[in-house]
Structure 1
Amino acid sequence: MLFTVAMAGLGLLLTMFGTTGHGAAERSTGTPAPGVYGGPGTGAPPSARLGWGFTHTEYSADRGTAAAEGSADKLLAAQPLPQNQAIMGWGSDNPEPSPGRYDFSGLDSRIALIRRTGGTPVITLCCAPDWMKGGTSGTTDWSRIEAAPTPDHYADFADLAAKVAHRYPDVHDFIVWNEFKGFWNDSAQRWDYEDYTRLYNLVYRAVKAVNAQNLVGGPYLNMDSVPPGTKDNASSVSGPWGSLDQRVLDALDYWMRNKAGADFLVVDGSSTTHDGALVPDDFNATQKFHDLSRWLRQDTGLPLWWAEWYVKPDHTVWPENRLMAVQATAMMQLAEGGTDTAFYWNPESESGDCSGCLWTGTEADQRGGTPLPMLDLLRRFAAVFPPGAQLSTPAVDNANVIALGSGRTLLAVNTTDQQTTAHIDGATVNLAPYAVSWTTR
């Protein structure tokens, strides 16, 4: 990129799992009717290079007023994107409240939304029913959504994963678990990567047994890092931004050496430090995405997926133009680092009043389902910078402006809160404060 950067680690962002509350929808316990969710051979061919998409969270466009849902459907269908959904939590009910008794109503609703809007469906195989993790059969305690299955139920979770893969035969991309939830060994102060890998291998084989063309990836590790100068838990994977946490590196190394197989590598993370600081500032901190993406691609040799990526401290609110500018910068860094697939965590709220949301909430009022700035950025970026796009770094005479090109399209970002002018590849561009500018060369 065209600016000097330094970065430091990231804080764990585990606050957006939520509960579902889908209510009294008809419970779907059998096999979907033909043509409802696709069938063998339908949909796009399996690919580990999906490009830019988003993840559904607790409130999405499958619930609300008919008018708002219809508006959201048209909006998403206008330029279909990859869409990711978890099997439990984040808008989906407990899929197996008791052994052998299934409730796919919430997941059916989300998959139906993805299908009718033309998106490429991705399923995250997380989280686990209560009876698989020491809870009472037939109940759901959403406060324990982060708990992992106990080892004696790993095979049961793999069976559930196979049931999901069989139920949605046109879904071919599966992520195993989420951020090592429940796999932290508190006494040893490290990740329990041995048990996660045991679970992963069982799930990998179960999903592949349903359809050998299914693509499966993990380990969905949070790329936590420590600031420059920190000695505790600092690994050799380092740069001006700091060092990758050695405990993350240990977990990744073990999984790579002991996995049954993988079609892609899954990680997530933020440009913040452990304590939520942005070092040296909000824009320059995003260099971390570039550096780690490039290293991960080279070290593992696998297609790289970022299941989540964040650019600001949790529970902070920025003006929309500043947020969009930093988001655009992060996406440029991810693209230049060689990312194959990246999902934006859509922070939809029930009220529809949400910084960084992709569309207005469909439960709010008749105005729900209308596009917001982040959706425009995501769709433009997906169209101009798909996986494998030939990227170019234009010449810029202004240190406060960054730019990235592909073909005849140029994306430029003003990283300041002041109006500015830059000469980009010889052309004069006037940029409003925190402007995200698309031009044709």
Structure 2
Amino acid sequence: MGRHEWNSTARRWRLTALLGVGLTALALVITLVNTVPGDRGSTAGTTPDGDKVHGTPVVPPGAAEPQVGWGFTHTQYSADEGGDKAVERVRAELADLGPVPQIQHIMGWGAGNPEPVKGRYDFSAMDRRMDFVRASEGIPVVTLCCAPDWMKGGEPGADNTDWSQHSLETAPERAHYKDFAKLAATVAKRYPDVRHFVVWNEFKGFWNDEQGRWDYEGYTELYNLVYKELKKVDEDIMVGGPYLVMNSVDPRQTHGVAEEPKGPWGRMDQRILDAFDHWNKNKAGADFVVVDGSSYTADDELLPDEFGATQKFTDVGKWLRERTGDLPLWWAEYYVEPGDSQDDRDDWSEAHRVAVQATGLMAMVRGGATSGFYWNPQKRGKKCAGCLWTSTELPDGGAGLPMLGLIGRFGEEFGPGTTYEKVSVAADDRPHVRVLADDKAVLVVNTLDRRTSAKVDGRRLDLAGYEVKWLKR
């Protein structure tokens, strides 16, 4: 939600593009400021008309697939800055995990103002992030949010950029929808290796105060303009929306709630579902569907408990899939642990946190999702609950943390195209032992804070409290 902070072929082309190029060399190309990108598919350097293309302007062979698997989102602080050894340590760990999908926004969350003045671009900060994604052999995904100030009634110029939460959460004015769509096309041309684009973030700025509902007409109009512009750049670009927050409330609430989906975890805000239905009916097209949400209610209640609440991802996912048919379902963000305004996630141990996250991933899969992105709450200091790696600002930083291990392994074992299988489980605490399996691996989670034993897939296991265990089949 961002509320706490302002197949083998693909692998070969990424390795080829990076052959002989270290992070130091990659950093030399991030200084392309106020230039207009060239055409997709042109060679690196200067195009015939003198424009420059950043990075590796080689479109991967073959058509892009509309699903990318399980990864994470870069936020304000990430691994593209810090000590060289620490940055390299993270880069190597990510590369060892295989192609991990990584999202970067075009403005905010580590990126600067991409177009401080109409027609003049500054992608220096975003270039650095994209270089890191490439160097770590990741699958780059771009979220097209947020909008430069001059598109939303503010003053032009980099020095005038308003980085307040209110400004970032302001949508472009309708008169500038086409300007934003043009910016999206410019981004696509600059990073031709990006094959997946998400349009906007959480309907930010699209609330209709007068009617007390979402301005889904405005968002859909913006989405359609962006969709068409991206397809003009390359018809094989994958585009998705609407990136709505699937808010839920206490199950006892009756006003303003939908009949379905619902469960012990709560009931859905009808206004959210109305907005989704309008976009789904009136969209120009989509290659995948994107939503985000939390397992807890709008009042931060985990019902019936933190593990049971994850059933929401399954129930909401099934509701979405019923309406979107064959379109792959992505969770652009997913949360299982309420946090305060400073995102101090100190209440749970890391084992507890990883166990609930693993259960949430299982629930998303059971709801039909094939891709999901962990919102990485990275910080600069030593203390960073829920982070993926230790801060690269520290001399010994860049070391992978338990959450990175979970996401990396989950993506490796249960990527797009996985066929899931039933697995036998026998235990005195059967409801508290969760499993997910395909023909090669079984993920087992003990949701109790104490030891338990179980027989899973014919094997006797002793599980520590909140233990997450992987079995090979």
TM-score (norm 2): 0.86
Q: CA deviation at 1:296?
A: 0.9
Structure 1 outlier segments of 4+, above 6 Å: none
Pick one of 381, 389, 409 that aligns with 1:351. Answer: 381
* Aligned partner of residue 374 in structure 1, secondary structure: helix
Specify the SS of the correspondent of 1:340. Answer: strand
Task: Give the deviation of 1:46 after TM superposition.
Answer: 1.2
Query: In 2, Cα distance between the equivalents of 1:44 and 1:63?
Result: 33
Q: State how far apart, in whole Å, the 2-side matches of 1:183 and 1:285 are.
A: 28
Mapping 1:127-138, distance limit 5 Å: 127-138=146-157
Q: 2:462 aligns with which of 430, 435, 441?
A: 430
The correspondence of residues 414-425 of structure 1 with structure 2, limited to 5 A, is: 414-425=446-457
Could you tell me how far apart the structure 2 residues matched to 1:438 and 1:149 are? 46
Matched to 2:286, the amino acid is A
> How far apart are the structure 1 equivalents of 2:154 and 2:381?
32
Matched ranges for 1:16-415 at <5 A: 16-18=4-6, 26=31, 28-30=33-35, 31=37, 33-34=44-45, 37-42=55-60, 45-79=63-97, 80-138=99-157, 139-143=160-164, 144-240=167-263, 241-301=265-325, 302-315=327-340, 316-317=345-346, 318-363=348-393, 365-396=394-425, 397=427, 398-415=430-447
Contact 2:266 2:297 in 1 (8 A): no
Unpaired segments ≥5 residues, structure 2: 7-29, 39-43, 46-52
How far is 1:389 from its partner?
1.2
CA contact under 8 A between 1:54 and 1:82: conserved in structure 2?
A: yes
* Superposed CA offset, 1:156-176 (max 9, x none): 111111110111111110000
Q: Give distance in 2, aligned partners of 1:406 and 1:130.
A: 48
Task: After superposition, give the CA deviation of every residue in 1:18-65 in whole Å (9 maximum; x if it has no partner).
Answer: 1xxxxxx84523248449622243377411111101110011111011
- Counterparts of 2:133 and 2:400, CA distance in 1: 17
Q: 1:44 to 1:224 in 2, by over 3 A?
A: farther
Using the alignment, how far apart are the partners of 2:231 and 2:457 within structure 1? 49
Cα offsets for 1:183-236 (capped at 9, x unmatched): 011221110001111111111111111111111110100011222121111112
Greater Cα shift, 145-154 or 238-247 = 238-247
Task: Provide the secondary structure at the position in 1 that maps to 2:449.
Answer: coil
SS of the aligned residue for 2:461 comes to strand
Look up the equivalent residue of 2:233 and give its one-letter code.
V
Q: CA offset at residue 14 of structure 1?
A: 4.3
Higher relative contact order (CA 8 A, sep 6+): 1
**Stretches of structure 1 lacking an aligned partner (at least 5 in a row):** 1-12, 19-24
In the alignment, the residues of structure 2 paired with residue 14 and residue 168 of structure 1 have an alpha-carbon distance, to the nearest angstrom, of 24
The answer to whether the 8 Å contact 2:248/2:296 transfers is no
The CA RMSD over aligned residues, in Å, is: 1.6
**Percent identity over the alignment?**
51
- Secondary structure of the 1:181 match is coil
Give me the TM-score of the superposition, normalised by structure 1: 0.92
Q: What is the one-letter code of the residue matched to 2:269? A: D
How many residues are matched? 422
How far 1:339 moved relative to its partner? 0.6
Contact kept, 8 Å, 2:143 with 2:198, in 1: the verdict is yes
Task: Give 3-state SS (helix, strand or coil) of 2:369's partner.
Answer: coil
Question: Deviation per CA, 1:296-333, whole angstroms, max 9, x where unpaired?
Answer: 11211121111000001122421101000000000111
Deviation at 1:295, TM superposition (A): 1.8
SS of alignment partner, residue 272 of structure 1:
coil
Instruction: Tell which deviates more after alignment, 67-76 or 232-241.
Output: 232-241
Q: How far apart are 1:404 and its partner, in Å?
A: 1.4
Inter-CA distance 128–54: structure 2 relative to 1 (3 Å threshold)? same
Q: Confirm or deny: 8 A CA contact 2:261 2:316 kept in the other structure.
A: no
Aligned pair in 2 of structure 1 residues 83, 44: CA closer, same or farther (>3 Å)?
farther
